[in-house]
Amino acid sequence: MANRYEIEFLPSAAREFEALPREAQSRVADAIDALADEPRPSAAKLLSGTGRERIWRIVIGQYRVLYQVTDVRVTVAIVRVADRREVYNATAIRRLLGRLRGSP
């Protein structure tokens, strides 16, 4: 059996997840857990970036999960969890990319 990827949340993504309605949390948690076995499911879309800035997206109803995959460390880092109307907010994305670029 292949290695399962470890799921990590950026602190801001963890807060966004906790702020979701309980029913949505359950569905989103199931989708995130599935990333541990298949970090690039066929429904995932590569949004942008190169190297460690590469960001993937999965859709769970009206919610979007943005994440990064690091094959060397066998991790999936959840970087944003939000409603589809809010997830692509330009200011939030700029702030997010700044944090990702500054990370080791």
Q: What confidence tens digit (pLDDT) does each residue in 5-63 have?
A: 999 999 999 999 999 999 999 999 999 999 999 999 999 999 876 666 688 999 999 99
Global pTM reads 0.84
Residue 57 inside a domain? The answer is yes
Residues 79 and 16: their CA atoms lie apart, in Å, by 10
Residue 59 inside a domain? The answer is yes
- CATH, residue 42: 3.30.2310.20
Residues 33 and 10: their CA atoms lie apart, in Å, by 16
Residue 75 inside a domain? The answer is yes
Work out whether the CA dihedral 73, 16, 97, 57 comes out positive or negative. Answer: positive
Per the structure, the count of domains in the chain is 1
Residue 16 inside a domain? The answer is yes
What are residue 40's phi and psi, to 5 degrees?
-130, 65
What tens digit of pLDDT does each residue of 79-103 get? Answer: 899 998 887 776 676 676 666 666 5
Residue 1 inside a domain? The answer is no
Query: Can you give the pLDDT at residue 104?
Result: 45
Closest by Cα among 78, 36, 37, 32 to 55: 78
